[in-house]
A and B are shown apart, each in its own frame.
Chain A
């Protein structure tokens, strides 16, 4: 079979690049949905928080001598493979409830279903890495940490 001529290779490549660019441009408006402060990192790299800073206090009560404000806080963790949003309930400096409110990773949600219970058990965002779910684990941990950061007393 004859090789494709260079002229056709260039023409086809240009056409493909044009379609790609149109798609890229059309999806740029979706960028606003991506957490602004997200730091994309490989799980193998040094730890870096990708908490988005978009967590919001749903219900907080003031307390004087405690580390966290009581209430329910929403935190988000993201990386290049998607986003996880969690709501974390805090009462008397203890995490009393953790729920995954939105799971938008490109992996199965089954990877992280047991993690809310683990957070309740260890009372920390530092859940153990699950083999085969590194990116989801990292996003979940970041989401919980983000919520805890929101709950921290200034």
Chain B
């Protein structure tokens, strides 16, 4: 792939956005820990990804997706997280990407499952500092600018809008019925986490659907599951659990589609154009 082509890929959009965010957050917190954590996580993820590529004897080794996963992990784990926990979480993410697969595609969002498992296994603390979780609220528009650019590039507006709409509607219902901690959910750092998660993790092309209807259902499942978990238990795992539930829905839809006789399937606009989900991270 030529440089000009690579620049236009969804992965490059995401990579540029999260590197910019990481730089801004590091500058604003006046700490180099974020850059160091990013290097550790991305480095570990790339090494593990390359190892798997060598084991699988892949001709093309391009670990840019692994770098994105590693950076996402580093931006969500607390700045004070021990380096080996960051490395292990990044490694877990990439291992899941290669082992938990269906038709050679990852079933679960690698960063989400790594971060989800890091809580019970490593007792990891998450702060979403890379989503400006420790900074004033006026940094949020920066999240939305990059988030919309990435969502537009991967063509996932229906999914992201469904997720945000249901999440905020359920939080409003929680506030109305005085259930759960709606106050926190709508303010930093939780609103930062929701926006960053919706635009940068939920939209991962290989682990989310391409069809509009499936995108909407995916977003609704992720939002309802996450909001129910948050309302009942609080904590910080709710977004990841929501996404993993959406990933399971996506897997089921893939299996149903694969089992359907070809003669009964009607040609759709989806089949005419190259689906975005083929652009593997």
**Interface on A for B, CB 8 Å cutoff?**
1-4, 8-9, 12-13, 15-16, 19-20, 22-24, 26-27, 30-31, 33-34, 41-45, 80-82, 106-108, 111, 129, 131-135
Contact = CB atoms under 8 A, between A and B. Distances in A.
Given A44-B79, A107-B236, A132-B85, A27 B186 contact: yes
Contact of B273 (A1, A34, A132): A1
Interface residues of B, number: 50
Nearest to B162: A12
Nearest to B123: A132
Given A1-B270, A131-B80, A19 B172 contact: yes
Contact of A106 (B129, B152, B235, B269): B235
7 contacts: A20-B168, A33-B183, A106-B235, A106-B236, A132-B81, A132-B122, A132-B125
B186 A20 contact: yes
B231 interface: no
Contacts of B13: none
Given A9-B157, A44-B80, A80-B133, A23 B172 contact: yes
A46 B141 CA distance: 26
Among B29, B188, B189, which residue has the most Cβ atoms of chain A within 10 A? B189
Contacts of A82: 184
B82 interface: yes
B184 A1 contact: no
Contacts of B234: 106
A72 B158 CA distance: 56
Closest A-B pairs by Cβ, 6 of them: A42-B134, A23-B172, A30-B183, A26-B175, A4-B157, A27-B183
B31 interface: yes
B52 interface: no
Contact of B125 (A3, A16, A135): A135
Interface in B67-96: 78-82, 85
Interface string B196-240: 000000000000001110000000000000000000001110000
Contacts of A33: 183
B43 interface: no
Given A132-B123, A132-B124, A3 B212 contact: no
